[in-house]
Structure 1
Amino acid sequence: MWKWEAEGQPKAVVAIFHGAYEHYAWYAWLIEKLRSTGFHVVMGDLPGHGVQTKNHRYHDEDFSEYYTYAKQLIEVAQTDNLPVFIIGNGFGATIAARAIYRNKVECAGLIMVSPWLQLKLEPGKLSKALSSLSAITSSVKLTHEITHNRLTRNFEVYGEMKDEMPFNTVVTVKWYRELQQLLKMLKDPEVKISSIPLLVMTGGRDKITDTTASRQWLVQQNSKSFQFKEWPECLSSLFFEFEREEVFLLTKDFMHNSLRSLGYIID
Protein backbone atom coordinates (compact mmCIF):
# COMPACT_ATOMS: atom_id res chain seq x y z
CA MET A 1 0.00 0.00 0.00
CA TRP A 2 1.09 3.57 -0.63
CA LYS A 3 0.27 6.95 0.82
CA TRP A 4 0.35 10.34 -0.90
CA GLU A 5 0.35 13.44 1.33
CA ALA A 6 -2.01 16.34 0.71
CA GLU A 7 -0.65 19.69 -0.35
CA GLY A 8 -1.02 21.92 2.71
CA GLN A 9 -3.25 21.14 5.67
CA PRO A 10 -5.17 17.88 5.05
CA LYS A 11 -8.95 17.89 5.31
CA ALA A 12 -9.44 14.12 5.24
CA VAL A 13 -8.01 10.85 3.97
CA VAL A 14 -9.30 9.09 0.86
CA ALA A 15 -8.90 5.33 0.41
CA ILE A 16 -9.21 4.26 -3.23
CA PHE A 17 -10.24 0.78 -4.39
CA HIS A 18 -9.45 0.17 -8.06
CA GLY A 19 -11.55 -2.03 -10.30
CA ALA A 20 -11.10 -5.61 -11.41
CA TYR A 21 -8.03 -6.27 -13.61
CA GLU A 22 -6.65 -2.76 -12.96
CA HIS A 23 -3.85 -1.54 -10.68
CA TYR A 24 -3.08 1.55 -8.63
CA ALA A 25 -0.95 3.34 -11.26
CA TRP A 26 -4.04 3.88 -13.42
CA TYR A 27 -5.25 6.34 -10.80
CA ALA A 28 -2.36 8.82 -10.89
CA TRP A 29 -4.63 11.58 -12.23
CA LEU A 30 -7.24 11.09 -9.50
CA ILE A 31 -4.60 10.83 -6.77
CA GLU A 32 -3.03 14.12 -7.87
CA LYS A 33 -6.42 15.87 -8.03
CA LEU A 34 -7.19 14.75 -4.48
CA ARG A 35 -3.76 15.74 -3.16
CA SER A 36 -3.95 19.18 -4.72
CA THR A 37 -7.32 19.84 -3.07
CA GLY A 38 -6.25 18.89 0.44
CA PHE A 39 -6.75 15.14 0.82
CA HIS A 40 -4.28 12.47 1.85
CA VAL A 41 -4.64 9.39 -0.36
CA VAL A 42 -3.98 5.74 0.46
CA MET A 43 -4.14 3.01 -2.14
CA GLY A 44 -2.67 -0.31 -3.15
CA ASP A 45 -3.33 -3.17 -5.54
CA LEU A 46 -6.02 -5.72 -4.91
CA PRO A 47 -4.62 -9.23 -4.36
CA GLY A 48 -3.72 -10.85 -7.68
CA HIS A 49 -3.46 -7.47 -9.40
CA GLY A 50 -0.61 -5.10 -10.29
CA VAL A 51 2.86 -6.64 -10.02
CA GLN A 52 1.29 -9.96 -9.06
CA THR A 53 -0.30 -10.29 -12.53
CA LYS A 54 3.15 -10.81 -14.03
CA ASN A 55 3.24 -14.22 -12.38
CA HIS A 56 -0.39 -15.18 -12.92
CA ARG A 57 -2.14 -15.89 -16.21
CA TYR A 58 -5.64 -15.67 -14.75
CA HIS A 59 -7.55 -14.56 -11.65
CA ASP A 60 -8.27 -17.33 -9.18
CA GLU A 61 -7.88 -15.40 -5.91
CA ASP A 62 -10.00 -16.40 -2.94
CA PHE A 63 -12.32 -13.51 -2.20
CA SER A 64 -11.25 -13.74 1.44
CA GLU A 65 -7.96 -12.20 0.26
CA TYR A 66 -9.86 -9.20 -1.13
CA TYR A 67 -11.79 -8.84 2.11
CA THR A 68 -8.64 -8.94 4.25
CA TYR A 69 -6.97 -6.38 1.99
CA ALA A 70 -10.02 -4.07 2.15
CA LYS A 71 -10.04 -4.16 5.95
CA GLN A 72 -6.32 -3.39 6.06
CA LEU A 73 -6.55 -0.49 3.57
CA ILE A 74 -9.32 1.17 5.58
CA GLU A 75 -7.38 0.68 8.80
CA VAL A 76 -4.36 2.40 7.23
CA ALA A 77 -6.59 5.31 6.18
CA GLN A 78 -7.84 5.64 9.76
CA THR A 79 -4.38 6.05 11.31
CA ASP A 80 -4.23 9.82 10.67
CA ASN A 81 -7.19 10.57 12.96
CA LEU A 82 -8.86 12.46 10.13
CA PRO A 83 -12.25 11.86 8.48
CA VAL A 84 -12.04 9.00 5.98
CA PHE A 85 -13.69 8.79 2.58
CA ILE A 86 -13.71 5.69 0.44
CA ILE A 87 -13.80 5.74 -3.36
CA GLY A 88 -14.41 2.50 -5.20
CA ASN A 89 -14.50 1.90 -8.93
CA GLY A 90 -16.44 -1.01 -10.44
CA PHE A 91 -15.52 -4.23 -8.64
CA GLY A 92 -13.54 -2.14 -6.13
CA ALA A 93 -16.73 -0.29 -5.17
CA THR A 94 -18.41 -3.61 -4.44
CA ILE A 95 -15.50 -4.82 -2.30
CA ALA A 96 -15.51 -1.49 -0.41
CA ALA A 97 -19.26 -1.69 0.30
CA ARG A 98 -18.88 -5.22 1.63
CA ALA A 99 -15.98 -4.13 3.88
CA ILE A 100 -18.02 -1.27 5.34
CA TYR A 101 -20.96 -3.57 6.04
CA ARG A 102 -19.02 -6.51 7.49
CA ASN A 103 -16.55 -4.46 9.54
CA LYS A 104 -19.07 -1.84 10.70
CA VAL A 105 -16.84 0.91 9.34
CA GLU A 106 -17.78 4.46 10.27
CA CYS A 107 -16.52 6.85 7.63
CA ALA A 108 -17.34 10.30 6.30
CA GLY A 109 -18.67 8.94 3.02
CA LEU A 110 -18.57 6.23 0.35
CA ILE A 111 -18.29 7.13 -3.35
CA MET A 112 -19.19 4.23 -5.64
CA VAL A 113 -18.41 4.58 -9.35
CA SER A 114 -20.22 2.09 -11.61
CA PRO A 115 -20.37 -0.53 -8.84
CA TRP A 116 -20.54 -4.17 -9.81
CA LEU A 117 -23.94 -5.08 -8.40
CA GLN A 118 -25.29 -6.69 -11.54
CA LEU A 119 -23.27 -7.27 -14.69
CA LYS A 120 -24.39 -6.78 -18.27
CA LEU A 121 -21.10 -8.14 -19.55
CA GLU A 122 -20.34 -11.44 -17.85
CA PRO A 123 -17.15 -13.50 -18.17
CA GLY A 124 -17.58 -16.22 -20.76
CA LYS A 125 -20.66 -17.10 -22.78
CA LEU A 126 -21.26 -20.16 -20.62
CA SER A 127 -20.55 -18.52 -17.28
CA LYS A 128 -24.08 -18.88 -15.90
CA ALA A 129 -24.22 -22.57 -16.71
CA LEU A 130 -20.69 -23.26 -15.52
CA SER A 131 -21.14 -21.43 -12.23
CA SER A 132 -23.95 -23.80 -11.25
CA LEU A 133 -22.03 -27.00 -11.96
CA SER A 134 -19.96 -29.08 -9.58
CA ALA A 135 -16.53 -28.25 -8.19
CA ILE A 136 -15.00 -30.18 -11.10
CA THR A 137 -15.51 -27.08 -13.25
CA SER A 138 -13.92 -24.66 -10.76
CA SER A 139 -10.65 -24.39 -12.65
CA VAL A 140 -12.29 -23.77 -16.03
CA LYS A 141 -11.09 -20.41 -17.45
CA LEU A 142 -13.44 -17.68 -18.67
CA THR A 143 -12.49 -14.53 -20.53
CA HIS A 144 -14.17 -11.35 -19.34
CA GLU A 145 -14.29 -9.31 -22.54
CA ILE A 146 -13.59 -5.98 -20.84
CA THR A 147 -11.39 -3.81 -23.03
CA HIS A 148 -10.14 -0.25 -22.71
CA ASN A 149 -12.72 1.02 -25.17
CA ARG A 150 -15.48 -0.54 -23.07
CA LEU A 151 -14.22 1.33 -20.02
CA THR A 152 -13.92 4.79 -21.57
CA ARG A 153 -14.51 6.50 -24.90
CA ASN A 154 -11.68 8.95 -24.10
CA PHE A 155 -8.84 7.60 -26.23
CA GLU A 156 -6.52 10.28 -24.85
CA VAL A 157 -6.28 8.46 -21.50
CA TYR A 158 -5.52 5.02 -22.96
CA GLY A 159 -1.88 5.75 -22.25
CA GLU A 160 -2.72 5.87 -18.54
CA MET A 161 -4.10 2.35 -18.82
CA LYS A 162 -1.59 0.74 -21.16
CA ASP A 163 1.69 0.10 -19.38
CA GLU A 164 4.03 -2.73 -18.47
CA MET A 165 1.42 -4.43 -16.27
CA PRO A 166 -0.70 -7.06 -18.05
CA PHE A 167 -4.40 -6.22 -18.36
CA ASN A 168 -5.52 -9.75 -17.60
CA THR A 169 -9.26 -10.36 -17.73
CA VAL A 170 -9.25 -14.17 -17.59
CA VAL A 171 -10.94 -15.64 -14.49
CA THR A 172 -11.79 -19.12 -13.25
CA VAL A 173 -15.31 -20.38 -12.66
CA LYS A 174 -14.44 -20.50 -8.95
CA TRP A 175 -13.66 -16.77 -9.02
CA TYR A 176 -16.86 -16.01 -10.91
CA ARG A 177 -18.91 -18.12 -8.49
CA GLU A 178 -17.51 -16.19 -5.53
CA LEU A 179 -18.35 -12.93 -7.30
CA GLN A 180 -21.95 -14.06 -7.72
CA GLN A 181 -22.15 -14.94 -4.01
CA LEU A 182 -20.87 -11.47 -3.10
CA LEU A 183 -23.40 -9.72 -5.35
CA LYS A 184 -26.22 -11.83 -3.95
CA MET A 185 -25.23 -10.89 -0.40
CA LEU A 186 -25.08 -7.16 -1.14
CA LYS A 187 -28.46 -7.17 -2.89
CA ASP A 188 -30.14 -8.81 0.11
CA PRO A 189 -32.73 -6.26 1.40
CA GLU A 190 -31.50 -6.90 4.94
CA VAL A 191 -27.96 -5.77 4.07
CA LYS A 192 -27.71 -2.01 4.54
CA ILE A 193 -24.91 0.51 5.05
CA SER A 194 -27.28 3.40 5.70
CA SER A 195 -25.32 5.09 8.49
CA ILE A 196 -22.90 6.89 6.13
CA PRO A 197 -23.32 9.40 3.28
CA LEU A 198 -23.42 7.70 -0.11
CA LEU A 199 -22.66 8.94 -3.61
CA VAL A 200 -23.30 6.52 -6.47
CA MET A 201 -22.32 7.56 -10.01
CA THR A 202 -22.92 5.62 -13.21
CA GLY A 203 -22.50 6.09 -16.95
CA GLY A 204 -25.58 6.21 -19.14
CA ARG A 205 -23.79 4.16 -21.82
CA ASP A 206 -22.14 1.68 -19.45
CA LYS A 207 -21.54 -1.59 -21.32
CA ILE A 208 -20.36 -3.55 -18.28
CA THR A 209 -22.77 -2.96 -15.39
CA ASP A 210 -26.54 -2.70 -15.05
CA THR A 211 -26.98 0.87 -13.84
CA THR A 212 -30.61 0.26 -12.87
CA ALA A 213 -29.40 -2.23 -10.26
CA SER A 214 -27.06 0.44 -8.84
CA ARG A 215 -29.93 2.91 -8.48
CA GLN A 216 -32.16 0.28 -6.86
CA TRP A 217 -29.41 -0.71 -4.44
CA LEU A 218 -28.90 2.91 -3.38
CA VAL A 219 -32.62 3.41 -2.66
CA GLN A 220 -32.64 0.14 -0.71
CA GLN A 221 -30.04 1.52 1.70
CA ASN A 222 -32.49 4.09 3.16
CA SER A 223 -29.55 6.41 3.78
CA LYS A 224 -30.31 9.81 5.31
CA SER A 225 -27.74 11.38 2.99
CA PHE A 226 -27.29 10.07 -0.53
CA GLN A 227 -26.82 11.20 -4.11
CA PHE A 228 -27.20 9.41 -7.42
CA LYS A 229 -25.77 10.80 -10.64
CA GLU A 230 -25.91 9.23 -14.07
CA TRP A 231 -23.57 10.80 -16.63
CA PRO A 232 -25.60 10.32 -19.85
CA GLU A 233 -22.82 9.93 -22.41
CA CYS A 234 -20.28 8.11 -20.24
CA LEU A 235 -19.15 4.51 -20.19
CA SER A 236 -18.09 2.71 -17.02
CA SER A 237 -14.82 4.32 -15.85
CA LEU A 238 -15.96 7.85 -15.05
CA PHE A 239 -12.59 9.08 -13.77
CA PHE A 240 -11.15 8.33 -17.24
CA GLU A 241 -13.92 9.84 -19.35
CA PHE A 242 -13.97 13.18 -21.19
CA GLU A 243 -16.11 14.50 -18.32
CA ARG A 244 -13.73 13.47 -15.58
CA GLU A 245 -13.10 17.04 -14.40
CA GLU A 246 -16.83 17.43 -13.78
CA VAL A 247 -16.98 13.98 -12.18
CA PHE A 248 -14.19 15.02 -9.83
CA LEU A 249 -15.90 18.33 -8.96
CA LEU A 250 -19.07 16.46 -7.97
CA THR A 251 -16.98 14.05 -5.89
CA LYS A 252 -15.16 16.92 -4.18
CA ASP A 253 -18.43 18.79 -3.47
CA PHE A 254 -19.90 15.63 -1.96
CA MET A 255 -16.90 15.23 0.34
CA HIS A 256 -16.91 18.91 1.33
CA ASN A 257 -20.61 18.77 2.15
CA SER A 258 -20.07 15.66 4.26
CA LEU A 259 -17.24 17.39 6.13
CA ARG A 260 -19.43 20.44 6.76
CA SER A 261 -22.13 18.20 8.21
CA LEU A 262 -19.49 16.87 10.63
CA GLY A 263 -18.72 20.41 11.77
CA TYR A 264 -15.61 21.11 9.71
CA ILE A 265 -15.13 24.55 8.16
CA ILE A 266 -14.36 24.18 4.45
CA ASP A 267 -13.18 27.14 2.41
Structure 2
Amino acid sequence: MFLKRFKKTENPKKTFVIIHGLGEHSGRYRFLIDKLLNLNYQIITFDLPGHGFGKGKKGYIEDFYKIYDYIEEITPEKFILYGHSMGGLIVLRYTEYAQKKPEKLILSSPAVGKLYTSFQKILLNTLGIFGKITIKNGIDPKDLCHDDKAIKEYLDDPLVHNKIAFRTAKQLFFEAEKALEEAEKINIPVLLQFGGMDKVINIDNCEELSEKLNTVIVQKHKYAKHEVHNEPKYKDKYLLNILDFIES
Protein backbone atom coordinates (compact mmCIF):
# COMPACT_ATOMS: atom_id res chain seq x y z
CA MET A 1 0.00 0.00 0.00
CA PHE A 2 1.21 3.52 -0.80
CA LEU A 3 1.46 5.30 2.57
CA LYS A 4 1.35 9.09 2.99
CA ARG A 5 1.78 11.18 6.14
CA PHE A 6 1.14 14.92 6.42
CA LYS A 7 1.82 17.33 9.29
CA LYS A 8 2.67 21.01 9.69
CA THR A 9 4.40 20.87 13.07
CA GLU A 10 6.42 18.38 15.08
CA ASN A 11 3.67 18.25 17.71
CA PRO A 12 0.32 17.73 16.01
CA LYS A 13 -2.63 17.72 18.40
CA LYS A 14 -4.43 14.71 16.86
CA THR A 15 -4.04 12.04 14.19
CA PHE A 16 -6.67 11.63 11.47
CA VAL A 17 -6.65 8.56 9.20
CA ILE A 18 -8.39 8.63 5.78
CA ILE A 19 -9.42 5.56 3.75
CA HIS A 20 -10.62 6.15 0.18
CA GLY A 21 -13.28 4.33 -1.81
CA LEU A 22 -13.48 1.85 -4.68
CA GLY A 23 -11.75 2.85 -7.91
CA GLU A 24 -10.30 6.09 -6.54
CA HIS A 25 -7.27 7.09 -4.45
CA SER A 26 -6.23 9.07 -1.39
CA GLY A 27 -5.27 12.14 -3.43
CA ARG A 28 -8.95 12.93 -3.95
CA TYR A 29 -9.22 13.93 -0.26
CA ARG A 30 -6.92 16.93 -0.45
CA PHE A 31 -9.89 19.16 0.47
CA LEU A 32 -10.01 17.43 3.86
CA ILE A 33 -6.27 17.04 4.33
CA ASP A 34 -5.59 20.77 3.84
CA LYS A 35 -8.30 21.76 6.32
CA LEU A 36 -6.97 19.36 8.95
CA LEU A 37 -3.38 20.51 8.46
CA ASN A 38 -4.52 24.04 9.26
CA LEU A 39 -5.91 22.69 12.54
CA ASN A 40 -2.51 21.12 13.36
CA TYR A 41 -3.60 17.53 12.78
CA GLN A 42 -1.36 14.76 11.53
CA ILE A 43 -3.01 12.98 8.60
CA ILE A 44 -2.26 9.40 7.63
CA THR A 45 -3.65 7.95 4.43
CA PHE A 46 -2.71 5.41 1.80
CA ASP A 47 -3.74 4.05 -1.58
CA LEU A 48 -5.35 0.63 -1.28
CA PRO A 49 -3.89 -2.31 -3.24
CA GLY A 50 -4.88 -2.04 -6.90
CA HIS A 51 -5.74 1.66 -6.47
CA GLY A 52 -3.83 4.88 -7.09
CA PHE A 53 -0.12 4.28 -6.51
CA GLY A 54 -0.83 1.09 -4.56
CA LYS A 55 0.79 -2.08 -5.87
CA GLY A 56 -1.05 -4.76 -7.77
CA LYS A 57 -3.54 -5.18 -10.59
CA LYS A 58 -6.15 -2.43 -10.88
CA GLY A 59 -9.23 -3.26 -8.83
CA TYR A 60 -7.70 -6.27 -7.08
CA ILE A 61 -7.59 -6.44 -3.29
CA GLU A 62 -6.46 -9.87 -2.19
CA ASP A 63 -7.55 -9.77 1.47
CA PHE A 64 -9.50 -7.11 3.35
CA TYR A 65 -8.16 -8.40 6.66
CA LYS A 66 -4.63 -7.47 5.60
CA ILE A 67 -5.92 -3.90 5.27
CA TYR A 68 -7.42 -3.98 8.78
CA ASP A 69 -4.11 -5.28 10.15
CA TYR A 70 -2.22 -2.58 8.23
CA ILE A 71 -4.37 0.19 9.72
CA GLU A 72 -3.62 -1.15 13.20
CA GLU A 73 0.09 -1.26 12.35
CA ILE A 74 0.45 2.32 11.06
CA THR A 75 -1.73 4.15 13.59
CA PRO A 76 -0.73 5.57 16.99
CA GLU A 77 -2.62 4.63 20.15
CA LYS A 78 -5.03 7.55 19.68
CA PHE A 79 -6.48 8.45 16.29
CA ILE A 80 -9.66 9.38 14.45
CA LEU A 81 -10.73 7.16 11.55
CA TYR A 82 -12.56 8.32 8.39
CA GLY A 83 -13.69 6.33 5.37
CA HIS A 84 -15.78 7.03 2.28
CA SER A 85 -17.88 4.43 0.41
CA MET A 86 -15.83 1.19 0.36
CA GLY A 87 -13.47 3.07 2.68
CA GLY A 88 -16.43 3.57 5.01
CA LEU A 89 -16.97 -0.18 5.02
CA ILE A 90 -13.27 -0.78 5.71
CA VAL A 91 -13.12 1.60 8.69
CA LEU A 92 -16.35 0.21 10.15
CA ARG A 93 -15.15 -3.39 9.84
CA TYR A 94 -11.74 -2.38 11.21
CA THR A 95 -13.39 -0.92 14.30
CA GLU A 96 -15.49 -4.05 14.80
CA TYR A 97 -12.52 -6.39 14.26
CA ALA A 98 -9.34 -4.78 15.58
CA GLN A 99 -8.10 -4.59 19.16
CA LYS A 100 -6.89 -0.99 18.82
CA LYS A 101 -9.98 1.17 18.41
CA PRO A 102 -10.13 4.74 17.08
CA GLU A 103 -11.30 7.49 19.41
CA LYS A 104 -13.96 8.54 16.89
CA LEU A 105 -15.28 7.06 13.66
CA ILE A 106 -16.54 8.97 10.59
CA LEU A 107 -18.56 7.11 7.96
CA SER A 108 -19.12 8.87 4.65
CA SER A 109 -21.68 7.11 2.41
CA PRO A 110 -20.48 3.70 3.68
CA ALA A 111 -20.98 0.62 1.51
CA VAL A 112 -22.64 -1.63 4.09
CA GLY A 113 -25.37 -4.26 4.15
CA LYS A 114 -26.70 -6.11 1.12
CA LEU A 115 -25.11 -4.62 -1.99
CA TYR A 116 -26.13 -7.25 -4.54
CA THR A 117 -29.03 -9.18 -6.04
CA SER A 118 -29.46 -12.93 -5.45
CA PHE A 119 -28.32 -13.56 -9.03
CA GLN A 120 -25.14 -11.52 -8.52
CA LYS A 121 -24.34 -13.50 -5.36
CA ILE A 122 -24.70 -16.81 -7.20
CA LEU A 123 -22.58 -15.45 -10.03
CA LEU A 124 -19.82 -14.28 -7.71
CA ASN A 125 -19.78 -17.55 -5.77
CA THR A 126 -19.34 -19.31 -9.10
CA LEU A 127 -16.82 -16.96 -10.68
CA GLY A 128 -14.89 -16.11 -7.51
CA ILE A 129 -12.46 -18.89 -8.45
CA PHE A 130 -11.17 -16.63 -11.22
CA GLY A 131 -9.74 -14.31 -8.57
CA LYS A 132 -7.84 -11.53 -10.31
CA ILE A 133 -10.03 -11.30 -13.41
CA THR A 134 -11.64 -7.85 -13.37
CA ILE A 135 -14.96 -6.43 -14.52
CA LYS A 136 -16.40 -2.92 -14.43
CA ASN A 137 -17.30 -1.86 -10.87
CA GLY A 138 -20.68 -0.47 -11.94
CA ILE A 139 -20.13 3.07 -10.63
CA ASP A 140 -21.66 5.63 -13.00
CA PRO A 141 -19.76 8.94 -12.63
CA LYS A 142 -23.06 10.79 -13.04
CA ASP A 143 -24.21 9.20 -9.78
CA LEU A 144 -21.37 10.75 -7.78
CA CYS A 145 -22.68 14.31 -7.43
CA HIS A 146 -24.48 17.21 -9.15
CA ASP A 147 -21.26 19.10 -9.94
CA ASP A 148 -20.23 18.67 -13.62
CA LYS A 149 -16.75 20.01 -12.90
CA ALA A 150 -16.16 17.45 -10.13
CA ILE A 151 -17.38 14.66 -12.40
CA LYS A 152 -15.04 15.79 -15.20
CA GLU A 153 -12.10 15.85 -12.77
CA TYR A 154 -13.00 12.31 -11.72
CA LEU A 155 -13.14 11.13 -15.35
CA ASP A 156 -9.89 12.92 -16.26
CA ASP A 157 -7.98 11.64 -13.21
CA PRO A 158 -5.40 9.08 -14.47
CA LEU A 159 -5.37 7.35 -11.06
CA VAL A 160 -9.13 6.69 -11.07
CA HIS A 161 -10.37 3.44 -12.63
CA ASN A 162 -13.61 1.48 -12.92
CA LYS A 163 -12.28 -2.03 -12.23
CA ILE A 164 -13.01 -4.64 -9.58
CA ALA A 165 -11.76 -8.22 -9.45
CA PHE A 166 -14.12 -11.14 -8.85
CA ARG A 167 -12.30 -12.10 -5.63
CA THR A 168 -12.44 -8.51 -4.39
CA ALA A 169 -16.15 -8.12 -5.18
CA LYS A 170 -16.94 -11.38 -3.36
CA GLN A 171 -15.07 -10.20 -0.26
CA LEU A 172 -16.60 -6.72 -0.48
CA PHE A 173 -20.15 -8.11 -0.48
CA PHE A 174 -19.38 -10.47 2.41
CA GLU A 175 -17.71 -7.79 4.53
CA ALA A 176 -20.50 -5.29 3.81
CA GLU A 177 -23.10 -7.66 5.26
CA LYS A 178 -20.89 -8.52 8.22
CA ALA A 179 -20.30 -4.82 8.95
CA LEU A 180 -24.02 -4.20 9.32
CA GLU A 181 -24.57 -7.38 11.33
CA GLU A 182 -21.88 -6.49 13.88
CA ALA A 183 -22.48 -2.72 14.09
CA GLU A 184 -23.82 -3.02 17.65
CA LYS A 185 -20.25 -3.84 18.74
CA ILE A 186 -19.28 -0.20 18.14
CA ASN A 187 -19.24 1.80 21.37
CA ILE A 188 -17.31 4.91 20.31
CA PRO A 189 -18.76 8.18 18.91
CA VAL A 190 -19.71 7.86 15.22
CA LEU A 191 -20.59 10.48 12.62
CA LEU A 192 -22.59 9.05 9.70
CA GLN A 193 -23.17 11.20 6.61
CA PHE A 194 -24.83 10.16 3.36
CA GLY A 195 -26.99 11.50 0.54
CA GLY A 196 -30.69 10.90 0.10
CA MET A 197 -30.22 10.48 -3.68
CA ASP A 198 -27.31 8.01 -3.47
CA LYS A 199 -27.56 5.23 -6.08
CA VAL A 200 -24.05 3.82 -5.57
CA ILE A 201 -24.85 2.32 -2.16
CA ASN A 202 -28.12 1.19 -0.58
CA ILE A 203 -29.19 4.08 1.66
CA ASP A 204 -31.74 1.85 3.42
CA ASN A 205 -28.72 0.02 4.82
CA CYS A 206 -27.37 3.35 6.13
CA GLU A 207 -30.68 3.95 7.88
CA GLU A 208 -30.49 0.49 9.45
CA LEU A 209 -26.87 1.08 10.42
CA SER A 210 -27.80 4.31 12.22
CA GLU A 211 -30.30 2.36 14.34
CA LYS A 212 -27.70 -0.25 15.33
CA LEU A 213 -24.89 2.10 16.32
CA ASN A 214 -24.86 3.01 20.00
CA THR A 215 -23.56 6.60 19.89
CA VAL A 216 -24.14 8.12 16.48
CA ILE A 217 -24.76 11.51 14.89
CA VAL A 218 -26.62 11.06 11.58
CA GLN A 219 -26.58 13.66 8.81
CA LYS A 220 -28.72 12.67 5.82
CA HIS A 221 -28.29 15.26 3.08
CA LYS A 222 -31.61 14.96 1.28
CA TYR A 223 -30.73 15.97 -2.29
CA ALA A 224 -27.11 14.80 -2.32
CA LYS A 225 -25.74 11.90 -4.34
CA HIS A 226 -22.84 9.61 -3.36
CA GLU A 227 -20.06 12.17 -2.89
CA VAL A 228 -21.66 14.66 -0.52
CA HIS A 229 -18.24 16.35 -0.19
CA ASN A 230 -18.49 17.32 -3.89
CA GLU A 231 -22.08 18.55 -3.80
CA PRO A 232 -22.25 22.35 -4.27
CA LYS A 233 -25.25 22.58 -1.95
CA TYR A 234 -23.87 20.42 0.86
CA LYS A 235 -20.06 20.25 0.76
CA ASP A 236 -19.51 23.13 3.22
CA LYS A 237 -21.98 21.63 5.69
CA TYR A 238 -20.44 18.18 5.22
CA LEU A 239 -16.98 19.48 6.12
CA LEU A 240 -18.30 21.59 9.01
CA ASN A 241 -20.03 18.52 10.46
CA ILE A 242 -16.71 16.66 10.45
CA LEU A 243 -14.81 19.50 12.08
CA ASP A 244 -17.46 20.01 14.75
CA PHE A 245 -17.46 16.28 15.47
CA ILE A 246 -13.70 15.86 15.84
CA GLU A 247 -13.14 19.10 17.73
CA SER A 248 -15.90 18.54 20.31
TM bracket (short chain)? 0.7 to 0.9
Structural mapping, 1:1-267, within 5 Å = 1-6=3-8, 10-52=12-54, 56-73=57-74, 75=75, 78=76, 83-118=78-113, 127-133=120-126, 136=129, 138=131, 141-158=134-151, 160-161=153-154, 162-165=156-159, 167-188=160-181, 190-221=182-213, 223=214, 225-242=215-232, 243-257=234-248
C-alpha distance in structure 2 between counterparts of 1:65 and 1:131, whole Å: 21
Secondary structure of 1:133's counterpart equals: helix
Q: Which amino acid aligns with 2:139?
A: I
Is 2:16–2:42's contact at 8 Å kept on the other side of the alignment? yes
Is 1:127–1:173's contact at 8 Å kept on the other side of the alignment? no
Deviations 1:74-124 (A, max 9, x none): x2xx16xxx42111100001111111121133322101000001366x59x
Deviates more, 1:43-52 or 1:107-116: 43-52
C-alpha distance in structure 1 between counterparts of 2:131 and 2:166, whole Å: 5
Q: Which amino acid aligns with 2:240?
A: L
C-alpha distance in structure 2 between counterparts of 1:99 and 1:227, whole Å: 19
C-alpha distance in structure 2 between counterparts of 1:152 and 1:7, whole Å: 35
C-alpha distance in structure 2 between counterparts of 1:147 and 1:191, whole Å: 28
Is 1:6–1:37's contact at 8 Å kept on the other side of the alignment? no
TM-score by length of 2: 0.86
Is 1:98–1:186's contact at 8 Å kept on the other side of the alignment? yes
Deviates more, 1:4-13 or 1:167-176: 4-13
Secondary structure of 1:116's counterpart equals: coil
**Which protein has the larger Cα radius of gyration, Structure 1 or Structure 2?**
1
Q: Which amino acid aligns with 2:146?
A: R
Name the Cα RMSD after superposition. 2.7
C-alpha distance in structure 2 between counterparts of 1:3 and 1:61, whole Å: 24
What percent of counterpart residues are identical?
21
- Alignment: residue pair count: 244
TM-score by length of 1: 0.80
C-alpha distance in structure 1 between counterparts of 2:236 and 2:8, whole Å: 19
Query: Structure 1: 5+ residue runs without aligned partners?
Result: 258-267
Is 2:114–2:177's contact at 8 Å kept on the other side of the alignment? no
